[in-house]
């Protein structure tokens, strides 16, 4: 299973994001320095937006974000291959490459690198380049992404080739962009009107997350999809000035813990996947993001115990025996995981000494 950019970076950095009215979030400067060290490549990277996709958008507007379900393949029993069929754990890289998933990933990754360079080194070139990326994605009329995911995770031949609920997972990296925007708050990246335009874009996208049927279905999902809905909706709500909604979502996330985790710490909906160990970690990475934001509202999710006895800590302890030897995982795990794959989460939960590498 491929981890998101946000999961890779945020789990390592132990970000604690806060709304603009609250104190700035805390960052691990050593890890942030590693991001900043990658800023030269971000400076050289060509800016790409959703408008650069090679194929027409199913909705006709090139500014629509479009992606294709990675585990769906042409139906071998039909001459036209439709409708596509599911093969869990088997990536259809060719089909995915026809959409925008890699573009939004590169955007989020490069903006984070450039923002880190500004934060640590006051690198004006990096800040200005970050501004160019942000303008292209959120401000410039010809390239600005429409603030919805109506065509995310299209399964060809299904639902009129519109997106589905799992497509909401594609935008989880935008939470990292929200963090980058905070780092760039005093940078020569965006003008005041442009900053307001960006904030307006996130407000419109938040409205889509609250009202679109696919987004509402993802919010109700009981597996990692539901977790990642909260992990992006909460920071976006805070950035958009909706602390009421952010706090509500932090409280609502407690229900996920009870639904997803058994008293012994197992996560049945993740374990049943082809990459059950990786997905178990992936889900807890989302919960870690949620917990960081909840802490700003005085909500301690790391120490929360659900009525059924489930908790984030007991879920980590369930996985901990396989941290040093992932190959001993007794269930399916096709993608190879490195030893120590759980270290960042264990450290954040206070279950691993900070000095351990």
- Residue 67 included in any domain: yes
Query: Residue 269 — pLDDT band, cuts 50, 70, 90?
Result: very high
Inside any domain, residue 353: no
- Tell me which residue of 281, 208, 228 sits closest to 6, measured CA to CA: 228
Region 120-127 average pLDDT? 97
Task: Give the largest CA-CA distance in the chain.
Answer: 59
Q: Identify whether 151 is part of a domain.
A: yes
Residue at 304 is within a domain: yes
- Who's near 23: CB < 8 A, 6+ residues apart? none
Give percent above pLDDT 70 in the chain: 90
For the cut 50, the answer to whether the pLDDT of residue 20 exceeds it is: no
Strands 85-86 and 151-154: unpaired
pLDDT digits (tens, 9 = 90+) for 279-320: 999 999 999 999 999 999 999 999 999 999 999 999 999 999
> Is residue 261 in a domain?
yes
Residue 312, domain CATH:
1.50.10.100
Q: Are strands 72-73 and 151-154 parallel, antiparallel or unpaired?
A: unpaired
For residue 82 the two structure tokens come to: 């439709």
Render pLDDT for 318-352 as a digit per residue (tens, 0 to 9): 999 999 999 999 999 999 999 999 999 999 899 88
For residue 12, pLDDT beyond 60: no
With 60 as the cut, is the pLDDT of residue 356 above it? no
Q: Per the domain annotation, does 181 fall within a domain?
A: yes
Q: Report yes or no on 354 lying in a domain.
A: no
CA-to-CA dists, residue 107 to 53, 136, 229, 356, angstroms = 14, 10, 20, 32
- Domain count along the chain: 1
**Mean pLDDT value across residues 3-27:** 39
Residue 99 CB partners (closer than 8 Å, separation 6+): 53, 66, 67, 68, 154
Q: Can you point out the beta strands (E) in the chain?
A: 66-68, 72-73, 85-86, 151-154
Residues spanned by the domain of 341: 5-348
Q: Taking each helix axis from N to C terminus, what angle separates 124-138 and 101-121, rounded to the nearest 10 degrees?
A: 150
Residue 72 domain flag: yes
What digits encode the pLDDT tens for the residues 43-96?
999 999 999 998 888 888 999 999 998 888 888 989 998 898 988 888 878 888
């Amino acid at each position: 299973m491929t981890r998101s950019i946000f999961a890779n970076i945020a789990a390592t950095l132990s970000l604690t994001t806060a709304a603009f009215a609250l104190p700035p979030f805390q960052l691990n400067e050593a890890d942030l320095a590693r991001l900043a060290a990658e800023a030269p490549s971000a400076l050289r990277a060509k800016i790409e937006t959703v408008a650069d996709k090679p194929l027409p958008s199913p909705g006709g507007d090139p500014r629509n974000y479009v992606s294709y379900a990675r585990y769906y393949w042409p139906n071998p029993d039909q001459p036209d291959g439709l409708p596509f069929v599911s093969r869990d754990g088997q990536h259809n890289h060719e089909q995915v490459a026809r959409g925008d998933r890699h573009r939004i990933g590169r955007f989020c990754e490069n903006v984070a690198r450039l923002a880190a360079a500004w934060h640590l080194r006051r690198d004006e070139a990096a800040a200005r380049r970050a501004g160019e990326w942000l303008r292209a994605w959120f401000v410039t009329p010809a390239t600005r992404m429409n603030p919805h995911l109506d065509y995310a995770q299209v399964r060809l031949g299904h639902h009129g080739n519109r997106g589905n609920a799992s497509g909401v997972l594609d935008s989880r990296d935008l939470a990292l962009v929200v963090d980058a925007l905070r780092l760039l708050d005093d940078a020569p990246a965006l003008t005041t009107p442009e900053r307001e335009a960006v904030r307006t874009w996130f407000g419109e996208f938040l409205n889509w997350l609250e009202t679109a049927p696919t987004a509402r279905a993802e919010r109700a999902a009981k597996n990692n999809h539901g977790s990642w809905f909260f992990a992006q909706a909460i920071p976006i709500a805070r950035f958009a000035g909706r602390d009421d909604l952010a706090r509500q979502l932090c409280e609502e996330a407690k229900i996920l813990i009870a639904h997803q985790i058994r008293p012994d710490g197992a996560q049945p909906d993740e374990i049943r996947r082809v990459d059950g160990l990786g997905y178990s970690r992936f889900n807890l990475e989302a919960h870690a993001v949620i917990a960081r934001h909840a802490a700003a509202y005085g909500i301690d999710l790391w120490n929360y115990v659900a009525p059924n006895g489930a908790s984030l800590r007991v879920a980590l302890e369930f996985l901990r025996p396989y941290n040093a030897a992932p190959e001993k995982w007794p269930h399916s795990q096709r993608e190879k995981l490195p030893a120590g794959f759980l270290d960042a989460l264990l450290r954040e939960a206070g279950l691993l000494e900070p000095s351990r590498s």
